[in-house]
Every structure is written in C-alpha cells, then in structure tokens.
Structure 1
Amino acid sequence: MKLTTFGAARTVTGSMHLVEHNGHKLLLDCGTYQGKREESYFANLNFPFNPAEIDAMILSHAHIDHSGNIPNLVKQGFTGPIYATNASMDLADIMLRDSGHIQENDIKYLNKKRHKQGLGNLKPVYTQKDALLAMPQFRSLWYEEKKEVIPGVVAHFVEAGHILGSAAVVLDYLDDTGKSKRLWYSGDIGRYDAPILRDPVLPSDADTVIMECTYGDKLHENIDDSYDEFVDTIKRTVSRGGKLIIPAFAIGRTQNLTYLLSEAILNGDIPDIPVVVDSPLAVNASDLYRKHTECFDDETWQFIAEHRMQGLDYHNIVFTRSVDESKALNDWNEPMIIISASGMAESGRILHHLKNNIEDGRNTILIISWQAPDTLGRRLADRERKVRIFGEEYFRKAEVVTIGGLSAHAGQDLLVEYALSSSDTLENLILVHGEEDAATALMEKLAGHPELPVPVFADKGQIFEL
C-alpha cells in the first residue's frame, strides 16, 4: 500500500490523503485550504492527481476543511462512491451548498479586485449547483459496519468525538507478503467528556496511524475549568451592559455552546439573558443534531431526561434565519449573547456583528477555536488593536477572551495517549493537520516513549510505502 499526504500537510486545513493499493485509488477526505481569498482560490482550484482515476472516497466528517472540495472533485471527473456516516452525509449536504454560495460570493470580490489590476475574471471553484450534483455519490456507513471500499481494502468507522457523525477511518488490508495490516486515519480527534457526543475511540492493532496534531503543543484546561471561565466571561460582560460576540463554526462548536448555555441558564449559573444563534447554516445543523440522536452520549440523554425535554431542545435560545432578523439585533441595547458563523470570522453574518460591536468597550469577543493564519479570527485572537472588516479599518475597544478548553480538538495529552494505544503493533506514526510549532512540541513529547516509532511530520506530496 502507498500513501501520499496531499493536504493538511504542515498546515491545518485542506485535509486530503491518497491511498493506493493493488492498482486502485482511495481518497481520505477532500477538504478546502483556508486562508487569504486569492491564495485559497488557487490552492483549491486544481488537484495534484486526476480525479477521474480515484475509485472511491471516504469522508471522516463534514467540516469544510475535510469535505469542502468534494464538489470540485466530482466536477473534475470523480464518479466513485463517497462513504460517510449517516450524520456526516446530512451535514455535508447543507455544508457543501453553503460553501458553494460562499465560493460564488468570493469570486465576485476577487474579480472586482482583479478588474482594477487589469486582470481577467475567474470562475468559482464550484457553485451551489455543483454541490447538489455531488450528493448522489454519497453512500452511508454505520459506525463499525465493514465495507470493501476498493478491492482488498475493508473499511469501517469508529467514533472520533469531534462533531456529529465524525469518525476515524480504519482500513484493513493484506501487504505484499499476505500479512494483515491496519491503517488508522484519525480524522479530527475530539475530547473526553465534551458536550453531546461520545468519547473518541483510541486506535487498536494499528500498523500505521495518520494522526492530527492541531493542539500538539497545548494542554487544554479541563472542561469544568473552561466552563467556569466561560461563565465568568458572560457575567463580566453582562455587568458592563455589553454583548458577548462569539464567532463559531456552524457545525459542532455552535451546538456545544448552545448546550453549555442551556445548562448554565437552567442551573442558574448565568443570568437568563437573550441568546441568539444568527447563522442559517447553524440553524439547519442544529436541526440535524436533534435528528441524529444515535450520536449522543449517556450524559446528554440524562440531561434531556432531567429537564423533561422531547429531544435536544436548547433552552430559551433564539435561532434566526432571515436577514431582517439578523439586522434587528443591531438595535438591541441590553446584554445578550450572539453566536454566529464563520468560526474564523472570514465570512458570514459574524462580520456584521463584529463591525457593529468591536468599537464598544462594554462588549466581549470570545474566541473558542483554532484560528488559521491571515484570518480575521487570528488577528482578533492575537488582540490586534486595528482590524479591517469589509475593507474598513476598525479600532478594537471590545475585550477579547480566548478559551482553548472549549475546543473540539484533542490536546497534547490525549494525542500522546492516542499514539501509545497501538504501541505494540505501530510501525508508522504520521502527523498531519497541524502547524510546525504544534507538531514539533508533540514530537518532542513522543520522543520520551521509545516504544513508539519516530513520528514523521508529513510534507505535502510526501509518499509513504506501508
């Protein structure tokens, strides 16, 4: 078997790994690279292989940095099946259409800029129509259900605990000598005791582990400490009469936040102030969280039972869809919490809320997830005083708070545990989905475990013979 790491190699976004076995080709994830608009456009436009030659694809989860370039893959000739969990299929349907809409809007911005430079127009990487055309190729697999995805390679999913429907991908095959081998692709690894979802399953009997290392250099605060910091941030903002503005990914982070806020309000930990989720995509995703109860952990079922809910009904939280509802939030002067996409503050309604609230010292901007370089979210996390929104410069007076412990990614301690879980059989440990500092820190930590193979921080296009 041959593995080539084409995406999320020495960076976090754009996950895409090619597996070749007995003359057949299998793609693990097909995500978009995220960064500056023009840089992202050209990074996502073409593939380093012929999409028509790919036999099948497996999707670990629906986040755009793992799924976002699927419509372009299909557009350029891929006709094979795309295997995903039921929940990931449903989420990908809404995510990819939304991404197509963003692609169409981004190209208008780029073409306006290119026109001033005397350059020709570009076409979108893909459109909403292309996203719709890709969906018939999806095939659902339940967790632990085994499927021969290409000849000689049997795949199954196990819980990753990252977002609804997220999975690690396990590939079982025979090597050239006829010996049984196992490749374990982590996708994105969640946290123990995180809201709503089951805990991630650790690798077992793996010969090769491809592991994300987003937070390879960080030990997260435990969930309880992060919850206390979250509550304190809300109380402090309310005491100033301000608004709490939270850029959040529409899938996963938004639902975790609304769950925690429901818990905090029902327990009397925070005042019962208005909470608004202002993102049509997040509203649709929240509906899917209610639908896919098969992904819930025991604690969530207990929470539902204790509060006599019919399902995961978020307490006293308003979900807005229309533009008029979103604009009306600008006129609210009392304390409130606004959760809006996108999570890196690069697009979506969050930009309007930041523009309207960033220069008011009563307000707080809460950053709860990893922020890519060159994004507005990263500039806010770095507490830059002047930022540009919609091309205009704003002087930040709002407080900025970052709470890493609310992340949906595993911290360094769990990543080490993940690697060690197959130490008796492990031959290859390949690190992806991380920046240089994170990977270096994790490799230094792993070096203290001589029972492990020397980890490799994969380069883009690096080939591994397994």
Structure 2
Amino acid sequence: MKLSFHGADQDVTGSCHLVECAGKRILIDCGLFQGGRELDEDNAEPFGFDPAGIDFLLLTHAHLDHCGRVPLLVKRGFRGEIITTPASRELARMVMLDSGNLQEEEAQGKQRHAARRGNREEVIEPLYTEQDALYSLDFFGRAAGYGQPMDLAPGVRATFIDAGHILGSACIFLELTENGRQRGVLFSGDLGNNGRPVVRDPAPPPRSDVVVMETTYGDRLHKPLEPSVEELYEAINDTFRRGGNVVIPTFALERAQELLYYLREGVDQVRLPRSMPVFLDSPMAISATAVFGRHPECYDEETAQLFREGRDPLSLPGLSFTRGTQDSIAINRVVGGAVIMAGSGMCTGGRVRHHLRHNLWRNASSIVFVGYAANGTLARKIVDGATHVHLYGDEVPVKARIYTINGFSAHADQAELLDWHRQTGGPERTFLVHGEQETMRNFAALLKDTRVEMPTPHQAFEL
C-alpha cells in the first residue's frame, strides 16, 4: 500500500492524492492550483503519475481546487471511473464547463497580448477547453450515498461521509486490504463549519489508522456566526447611509447561497430594507442555486422545513439574477443602495473585477469579503491593505471601506479541526494538507498521539 501527494502539499489549492492498493490506483480529488500567474505553470506540469494508470477518481466535492484538473486528467489519458455524490456530480459539471470556457478565454487573451508584442507566431493553447470538460463527464459513473460503503475492487472499499462544507461535500474513508494487511485511510476533503444554514454539520468520522486532513484555518478560530451576520447587516446599512454600493466577492458554491439565506432573513426581520436591490451577478452561482433545490438530502433540518412549507429560503424581494453580459454591465449604472454579489471570491477573475473597478475608488462604497483569500490573489492584496490595485490596465485607488467578516467561512476552524481529528480515534499517522506552511506547523504542534507528516509535492509514503 502506498500514498502519494500531488497537490495542496504545503499549499492551499490543487488537492490531489493517490492511493495504491491491491493492484488498483485510486485518486482522491484532482483540483486546480489557484492564486497567481506562476500557478498557471504548475497546472500545466505533469501530474506526477500516469493519468492512464488511474482506475478510480473519487471527488470529495465540487470546488475548483478539488475538481478543476479533471478535464486535464482525461485529456492526458484517464479512462477510469469518477465517483462522487449526486449533488457534487451536478455542481462539478457546472464548475468544470465554466473553467474550460475561462481557460479558452484566458488563452485567447494571452494570444492577443503576444500579437501586440509582435510575436504573432507564438501559439498559446488553453490548459483544456470547454469541449474537454464536456468529454470528461462521460467518465462519471456510480453515485455515492452518504454512509453507504461501496466496493471498488477486491481489497478496496470506499465510504463517503457528509463533510458539511458545501452541498454534496464528503470525507472519504477507504478500507484497504493487501496481502492480509488492513488499513483504514480517511481523507477529510474540506470540512465544514458547524452551525451553518442550508447544509448539515459534518458527520462524525470513523476510527482510522491514517488520516489525511485539511488545515485551511488550522491556526485560528472563526468569529461566531451571529456577530458575523450582525456585522454584515451593519456594513450594508452603513454603506446605504453613505450612498454607496456593497460589493461582495462571492464563491458561487455555498457562499452565494448562504448569503442569500441571510439577506432574506435580514429582510424578513426588518433588519435590511425590503426594497434594496440585490444582484447575483454570477451565472454559475445562479445555476448552483437551482441545483440546491434538487438535493434536499443535503439540507439541515431548518432549511428542509422551509422547503416543506413551500418557502424558498434563498429568495428575497429585490433579488435579480444577471446571467447576460449586458445585464451585468447595466449594474454599473447603479450608483448606490445596491448589494452586488459576483464571482470570483478571491477576485482572480469573473465579473466581480468589473464591479471592483467601478466601486473601489468610491469612499461611499464598501467591499465585503466573507471567504478565504489565498496569497497572491487580488482579494488578499485588498484585505492586506493595498492602497492601489491594477485592474484592466488601470491603477485603481482603494478608497472604499473594506470589511473582512470571517465568521461566514465554510471551513472548520482550529477548534473544529482538532475535535474532528480526536474523533478519528488517535490515528497512527496524520498527513496535513491544504494549508499554508506556517498554518500547518502551528496546527501540527497541537496534535497528540499521532505521527504528523507535512508532505511535499510528489512525496510518497508506504502505509
């Protein structure tokens, strides 16, 4: 038995881990590296294994940094079976198609830039195309139900366990047998933050011999949810009093839906103006919101009850969905009094950059960050206090009021990670992934009664 690491190793994105057992090769996630231009090269590098030799790909969830290299995996020869939950399957389809389209657009932009520099002969290919993403869908096979063991091959059994992170998210427990030796290997995927609306809290993990776990927030505690909601309402009302707009860079999956839930609650409780226009300016977030309605198996009890009563917990009076480009552009004519939610959450691309271009320089407006911002991203630069940022060739002054409300995180914080790890029953070895190096070191110091490893890219271990 062997375990090797090929992404999110002493870093926060690109999750990709390989298990070899009983003659089978099982990949856990195949995510895109995100955060800066240099990561474009990382995404294009060889995987560190032969894609054609992979028998199964198990997806923990549909965020881009966990499924975004699946079309590339298929493009380079993968012909195995992709297994995930029904909700993740729907969301991954949407995420990968959108990513393929963005890859093509970025390649075309680079091609035009090269031509302007006089290098007309240079050919710049996208990492993969929308057609590549579409073809990769052919390899999605069985759907995994929470808590239902699934035999992949003799000696390899997989169980998906609710991770409470986003709709359809899962931890994956592998029961491995080879040459009479048995090992239980648990992959956390991304663990959710307890007490969130819409999706359930993470389910208790099984006792495990080996644990591979994320450490995104392994060095800090989240602000409690209730004060975070209060801060959001105050940020909106204060901005409206100043005559500005509220721009919220929004992750399309889970965060957008959670914010709609709280905006609807704010209106219902007369905490927010009933007449306020709310723009969800993200085609993917709009589609994801529709997917939520089709997967009640993922809801917590409160949200399930609202649906049973015929009430949509993600709808409010002033909500507008803007799919078309022209509708998105029209939002820029709104000078004040609106909430604008647009992707991407780290401001690395998407429509939010246009809204930042029109609002960052305005004292009256506010930018509200409610999610993680990786090093190197535009969001991180703004959060860290940049006075000017570059957008579309212009240097834009940062004069808007900046809010960072970390209580909305869909990731478990340090205390929740430690509690989850304790429930695994004192594993022999714990591999820390999906976190910044200093965060990992801080978290590792808190783990007791287990051998802690912080793997480097392509490092392999015997189990």
Per the TM superposition, whether the score is higher than 0.5 is yes
Corresponding residue of 2:234: 232
Written as runs of structure 1 = structure 2, the 5 A alignment for 1:246-257 is 246-257=248-259
Aligned to 2:293, the other structure's residue is in SS state helix
Q: Does 1:293 align with 2:285?
A: no
Written as runs of structure 1 = structure 2, the 5 A alignment for 1:101-180 is 101-115=101-115, 116=117, 118=119, 120-139=122-141, 140-176=143-179, 178-180=180-182
CA offset at residue 150 of structure 1? 3.7
Aligned to 2:305, the other structure's residue is in SS state helix
Residue deviations 1:184-229, cap 9 Å, x none?
A: 1000000111110000123221111100000011100111121111
CA offset at residue 44 of structure 1? 3.4
Whether the 8 Å contact between 1:248 and 1:254 is mirrored in structure 2 is yes
Aligned to 1:77, the other structure's residue is in SS state coil
Q: Does 1:9 align with 2:9?
A: yes
Whether the 8 Å contact between 1:62 and 1:92 is mirrored in structure 2 is yes
Q: Does 1:77 align with 2:54?
A: no
Corresponding residue of 1:453: 450
Corresponding residue of 2:273: 271
Corresponding residue of 1:440: 441
Whether the 8 Å contact between 1:371 and 1:377 is mirrored in structure 2 is yes
Compared with structure 1, are the counterparts of its residues 8 and 42 closer, same or farther at alpha carbon in structure 2 (3 Å cutoff)? closer
Distance 1:35 1:396 in 2: 21
Corresponding residue of 2:48: 48
Residue deviations 1:408-465, cap 9 Å, x none?
A: 00100001111111234x111110000012112211222xx3xx21322221112121
TM-score computed with the length of structure 2 as normaliser: 0.96
Supply the AA of the counterpart residue of 2:436: E
Compared with structure 1, are the counterparts of its residues 217 and 117 closer, same or farther at alpha carbon in structure 2 (3 Å cutoff)? farther
Q: Does 1:309 align with 2:310?
A: yes
Aligned to 2:332, the other structure's residue is in SS state helix
Q: Number of residue pairs matched?
A: 458
Whether the 8 Å contact between 1:251 and 1:282 is mirrored in structure 2 is yes
Supply the AA of the counterpart residue of 1:246: I
Aligned to 1:193, the other structure's residue is in SS state coil
Compared with structure 1, are the counterparts of its residues 291 and 312 closer, same or farther at alpha carbon in structure 2 (3 Å cutoff)? farther
Aligned to 2:340, the other structure's residue is in SS state strand
Structure 1: unaligned runs, 5 residues or longer: none
Whether the 8 Å contact between 2:347 and 2:377 is mirrored in structure 1 is yes
Aligned to 2:79, the other structure's residue is in SS state coil
Aligned to 1:331, the other structure's residue is in SS state coil
Aligned to 2:14, the other structure's residue is in SS state coil
Compared with structure 1, are the counterparts of its residues 310 and 231 closer, same or farther at alpha carbon in structure 2 (3 Å cutoff)? closer
Fraction of identical pairs, as percent = 38
Aligned to 1:103, the other structure's residue is in SS state helix
Distance 1:42 1:113 in 2: 21
Whether the 8 Å contact between 1:37 and 1:106 is mirrored in structure 2 is no
Distance 2:429 2:273 in 1: 51
Aligned to 2:445, the other structure's residue is in SS state helix
**Root-mean-square deviation (CA), in Å?**
1.6
Aligned to 1:148, the other structure's residue is in SS state strand
Tell which deviates more after alignment, 311-320 or 87-96: 311-320
Distance 1:151 1:247 in 2: 46
Distance 2:280 2:188 in 1: 30
Distance 1:310 1:189 in 2: 28
TM-score computed with the length of structure 1 as normaliser: 0.95
Written as runs of structure 1 = structure 2, the 5 A alignment for 1:177-188 is 178-188=180-190
Supply the AA of the counterpart residue of 1:283: I
CA offset at residue 72 of structure 1? 0.7
Tell which deviates more after alignment, 219-228 or 97-106: 219-228
Q: Does 1:346 align with 2:348?
A: yes
Distance 2:413 2:38 in 1: 32
Structure 2: unaligned runs, 5 residues or longer: none
CA offset at residue 309 of structure 1? 3.2
Distance 1:434 1:215 in 2: 7
Tell which deviates more after alignment, 109-118 or 339-348: 109-118
Distance 2:336 2:352 in 1: 19
Supply the AA of the counterpart residue of 1:463: A
Distance 1:183 1:80 in 2: 21
CA offset at residue 161 of structure 1? 0.6
Pairing partner for 2:357 from 355, 359, 365: 355
Aligned to 1:445, the other structure's residue is in SS state coil
Supply the AA of the counterpart residue of 1:210: V
Distance 1:303 1:269 in 2: 20
Distance 1:233 1:386 in 2: 22
